A and B are shown apart, each in its own frame.
Chain A
Amino acid sequence: MPLAPKSSALGLTTYKGSWSPQLTKHLLNRTMFGAKASDIDYFTSKGLLASIDELLNVQTISIPPPLNDYNSTAFTDPNVLAGKTWVNDVSTDGTINSYRRSTYKKWLMSVWVGQERNIREKLTLFWSNHFSTEADTVVYGSMVYNHHQILRNNCVGNFKQIVRAVTTDPGMLRYLNGYLSTKTAPDENYGRELQELFTVGKEGGAKYSEEDVKNAAKVLTGWKIDTNFITIFDSTRHDTTNKTFSSFYNNTIITGKTAANGALETDELLTMIFQKPEVAKFICRKIYRYFVYYNIDDVVEKNIITPLANAFIANNFEIKPVLKLLFSSEHFYDALYIGCQIKSPTDHVISFLRQYEITFPHAVTDYADAYYLYNYMVNQLTSMGQNPVDPPNVSGWPAYYQAPEYNELWINADTLPKRNKFTDLMIETGYTRNGKKIIVNTVQFAKTVCSNPSDPNILIDSLFSFLISTDISVALKLSLKTQILLTGQASDYYWTEAWNTYNTNPTTINYNIVNTRLKALLKYIMNLPDYQLQ
């Protein structure tokens, strides 16, 4: 048994081995919220490099925005009709915004479940965690929406530009009090987190000083939000003195500017910060931990982080080339890293729904029922420890950064049973709203993931290779076949007969003969600790 995490000495050289469904699944598990069987087929046939290109080719598409699903006999939004979007409506009403934040989360589930074949949503969650804001603190629904849309629309773009956009994003200004900061009382909150959490980090050689925090705060004074929720620069609130930074920043002086030019200091501040090589390394480490594994030792630092960071800088902080380098590397496909990530609650719930291709009512034409059902998923994520767009604080979720446990923090004696309960429930009884039920269709699933479900050996192999990323012993598979699919009988024929009988004569009883056994088998597989890994 390994006593500690291991690291691979393989570097960023392009992976040259054969391209298999298992490696495709590995790539998709890390770049999307799980994969459907058809996704694995699609990208397996494309090959490694073409697959990566397609996954990183995120087009700006218009996803139908979140809708008002909260009008009722008890409450009516005076500005937005039921079934219409509220994202462009400015409201400071507490009740309205409480509903809208809730709606955003339900909508987000629909976007995640219905994600296209690219990295957009997985990467947007990465940035949402990185530029962490709490919807409950931001309060206003439209600001929550716009904050995450910045991240969504720029997810594979330029990191520098994202930082610039986030710095004066109304949602972030509210979250870290930037909109209240004035020259007489500069608020250090954003000035600090900009450096500590968003760019240079605190690791390694990052030794910016408390003075640097204070000076950054002064630079950033003057930004505020108008009544239309638009960020404006109010030069009367801006500190026009010169700001002298520490030796960490080569004693850079940002000359105080007056009037509208005061806003330019913000760009100078970012230019100065981005001079520091720590920025690229900090982000690349975080990318590595999110997409590969949390263990970064000297070997990984030297072979992966440093060259990735160099590429990041060389590409002027374009994100796509860095991800391409990582996802195409022989390091990424080393067997040491296959299946080594503990799924986040989002991975667990959303990838489950996608793997089983659970069909929800349409999120626009049947939004009321759809949102109701998606809300169940929001509640699941929350109970498992990842309330969407409401991380615990500005650092994001500890599982993404807290040494030494990292993603092990998702799992404890409370959350693990909840994960099992969720998959059991979706298999056994499903969840219903107005007669619309979301439930696993075990028989259809078997047909989808297995070329010949009438053969119990092929069926079990197919289910394991689709649902599980670790190696499962032949003995366990044999035991499950005999105990569950064969109901203790010795001959494979009996499963084959039951399956074929159902297919030629799909009566309720014939269906349930097959369904009962598939349900037991699927519940068993997903209750294995192995299912928590991806």
Chain B
Amino acid sequence: MERRKFIRNSLALVAPTMISGNPINILQDHPLLNTALLSTSNTDKVLVIVQLNGGNDGLNTVIPLSAYDNYYNARTNIALPENKVLKLVGNNATGIHPSMTAFQNLFTEGKLNIVQSVGYPQPSFSHFRATDIWMSGSDSDQYLNTGWAGRYLNYQYPNYPDAYPNSTNPDPIAIQIGSLATLTCQGPAVNMALSISDPSSFYNLIEGTDSTVANTNAGYELSFLRTIAKQTNQYTVRIKQASDSVTQQVTYPNNSLAAQLKIVARLIKGGLQTKVYMVNYGGFDTHSGQVVTTDTTTGTHANLLKVLSDAIAAFQSDMSGLAIEDRVIGMTYSEFGRRIKSNASGGTDHGSAAPLFLFGKNVRGGVFGDNPSIPTAATSNDNVPYQFDFRSVYNTILQNWFCVSSTAEIEIMLKQFPTIPLINSSVCGINDKNSIFAKESLIYNYPNPFTNMTKIEFKTNGGQTSLQLLNGEGTVIQILVEANYSFAGTNSYNLYGASLSPGVYYIRMQNVDKTFMKAIVKM
């Protein structure tokens, strides 16, 4: 800290009386800072991160139609009727929640992709810990006091906050509205975000209004202090100008997520050099009553998903109307998914991996990864095992959207995580093989089910290959293979399962950027 001159950038100072609660976070890009970065940094790209607080029930969001019977049996009281699940064009195996018609349309337009079963090896079922893991990009047994976006910004702007703002970088390098994403933006030395930690202050800024103060001398002095605080914030004027400059927008639905996204659209169009915006929407912690029992396509969860899908579709339409569609993609995430088996309260408890969505003209539309396997008789401990590490999604965005060089990967992500071809390869000129679409069965095991031993044959294209064994709760319990193969070919591994208790297990194979899951059963 001492080595860096620290500039305080907090719009929290502007107007501390709260009116409504729509947290928005903006991280900002400074394209011309360093010519050395120009070759690797795609300068005007924007990422919008939509955080869904509470742990979204992935299985009722993206429905595994190919395993519908098992799905239904695991959650009879909340299962969506098969004929009501919205179909995805060109994909019979997977459907989405009936309330997400807007997402269905986006999918048809090729502006939506679904990444199946995103998680990490030892899932945490605690909201707080899981959120911290997602924000920091840590392993589950590792404590990181920096955020993944904070490390990225620190890599891009290593001197921040020295001499910021400046003529090249007139905008905040990072802005947080709402206090939630503090960890996401925390860099090694300073928080990279301008904090608009009081949501109302942001709306007041945009609307040009002020909060009231008490009719006392303290109120009088507080007005004075707020005025100075406003002057102190070097970025206030830029944000207001950007927002004011946009007058024509599509009609957004009337909900808090749409309100946040509407402002984000204005700021992007208005010219803020901002790379990442963060918004959030809560209420996904559906332990009970997540559906109306007489019609499971309605109720709490249906409403949440409708808000999500309508708001994002409106935003996407606005992007198109404002002619900035090429520059913007978004992603959703939630700290975890929910349990496969529903509980007796008509809800679902904390789970592990879940699907996430990417949206935008430049995402590669489609469903990535397989439907999660659903055990024939799911128990209350069964979870969706992870297929994609969430840090692979981050790394993909860094490399294939922001065009960060792969050499920076270790510095930002702290480890190697294979990218997934989620983004049009033309964006950063990536020569990917689109391998995920050319999938074939890569793992075969015999016998299955097994009692003492099963022989696993796996096909690798060569290169880094790993085989993990996950238990039914979605936790990695053993690394079976971790090797770098010089040649493509089929290899085998004998799994001795005498010490395993009976139940469902999963083999997760990762071969460079390809992943494959296989359920196995120990008798």
- B53 cross-chain contacts in A, Cβ below 8 A: 487-489
B7 CB–A CB distance under 8 Å: yes
- A416 cross-chain contacts in B, Cβ below 8 A: 8, 13, 225, 228-229, 232
CA distance A429 to B283 in the complex (A): 33
Judge whether B218 and A524 touch: CB under 8 Å. Answer: no
A530 CB–B CB distance under 8 Å: yes
The verdict on A336 contacting B228 (CB below 8 Å), with A473-B18, A475-B18 known, is: no
Binds B, one of A38-46, A69-77, A228-236, A490-498: A490-498
A413 CB–B CB distance under 8 Å: yes
Judge whether B16 and A528 touch: CB under 8 Å. Answer: yes
CA distance A509 to B126 in the complex (A): 12
Judge whether A429 and B1 touch: CB under 8 Å. Answer: yes
- A470 cross-chain contacts in B, Cβ below 8 A: 214, 218-219, 222
CB distance from B7 to the nearest CB of A (A): 7
- B197 cross-chain contacts in A, Cβ below 8 A: 524, 527
Residue of A nearest to B217 (CB): A340
A1's partner among B13, B195, B219, B228 (CB-CB below 8 A) is B219
- A498 cross-chain contacts in B, Cβ below 8 A: 126, 128
CA distance A497 to B124 in the complex (A): 14
Per-position binary interface string of chain B over residues 57-87, scored 1 when its CB falls under 8 Å from any chain A CB and 0 otherwise: 0000000000000000000000000000000
A516 CB–B CB distance under 8 Å: yes
B54's partner among A295, A488, A501, A508 (CB-CB below 8 A) is A488
Binds A, one of B179-187, B446-454, B494-502: B179-187
In the complex, how many residues of chain B place their beta carbon closer than 8 angstroms to a beta carbon of chain A?
A: 57
- B19 cross-chain contacts in A, Cβ below 8 A: 475
A260 CB–B CB distance under 8 Å: no
Binds B, one of A2-10, A84-92, A163-171, A237-245: A2-10
CB distance from A37 to the nearest CB of B (A): 22
- A494 cross-chain contacts in B, Cβ below 8 A: 127-128
A55 CB–B CB distance under 8 Å: no
Per-position binary interface string of chain A over residues 522-534, scored 1 when its CB falls under 8 Å from any chain B CB and 0 otherwise: 0010011110110
The verdict on A490 contacting B54 (CB below 8 Å), with A425-B6, A482-B21, A528-B13 known, is: yes
A476 CB–B CB distance under 8 Å: yes
B218's partner among A340, A501, A508, A528 (CB-CB below 8 A) is A340
CA distance A517 to B179 in the complex (A): 10
CA distance A472 to B228 in the complex (A): 20
A459 CB–B CB distance under 8 Å: no
A529's partner among B145, B216, B225 (CB-CB below 8 A) is B225
B9-51 interface (Cβ within 8 A of A): 10, 12-13, 16-19, 21, 23, 51
CA distance A468 to B8 in the complex (A): 21
Judge whether A487 and B180 touch: CB under 8 Å. Answer: yes
B143 CB–A CB distance under 8 Å: yes
A27 CB–B CB distance under 8 Å: no
A415-434 interface (Cβ within 8 A of B): 416-418, 420-421, 424-425, 428-429
Judge whether B131 and A420 touch: CB under 8 Å. Answer: no
- B222 cross-chain contacts in A, Cβ below 8 A: 470, 529-530, 533
* Residues on B facing A (Cβ under 8 Å): 1, 6-8, 10, 12-13, 16-19, 21, 23, 51, 53-54, 126-129, 131-132, 141, 143, 145, 178-180, 182-183, 195, 197-199, 212-226, 228-229, 231-232, 280, 282-283, 285
